[in-house]
Amino acid sequence: MPNNHLSENTKNLDPLINTIKDLTRVITEETNLLKTNRPKELERFLPLKNQLMASYQKEMADLNNRGGLLGSGNGPAIRQLKQESRVFQSVLTRHTRLVKALKTISENMIKTISDEVVKRQNQASRYGADGAKSTNKHPTSITLNQTI
């Protein structure tokens, strides 16, 4: 009978462990696509990632309802869950750093282009309705401020 109890406890954590492994795989693939300058290909992972995140949230709620780790698994299952969680956190941290770096690069590139447009606009001579040359005393540029 105790072996059946251990088997049941392992089965309780298996879905969560598998979901974490799948999320790790998807985020690793996304990171590789970003590193190889293929961000458009990220779209194909969106439905799967959304499904896995929903599954992860459900499994975590189930784990909590069962009383946490102590009520859900035996030693080996808990160790495996912790190991997979550490790997996932590591992959997620690298992915987050890469996305932030790419965002900063993009924002700086847009700002540089915007500054150049403003600079060129100020050099152009224009005549106003009264026939006098007008200058743009308050140059403006278009910038994007969008959080991804």
Angle at 70 between CA 64 and CA 67, to 5 degrees: 30
What CATH code would you report for 2-124? Answer: 1.20.58
What pLDDT digit, counting tens, does each position of 54-110 carry? Answer: 999 999 999 888 888 777 777 888 899 999 999 999 999 999 999 999 999 989 998
pTM score, two decimals? 0.70
Domain range annotation of the chain: 2-124
Please give the biggest Cα pair distance in the chain.
98
What pLDDT digit, counting tens, does each position of 25-37 carry? Answer: 999 999 999 999 9
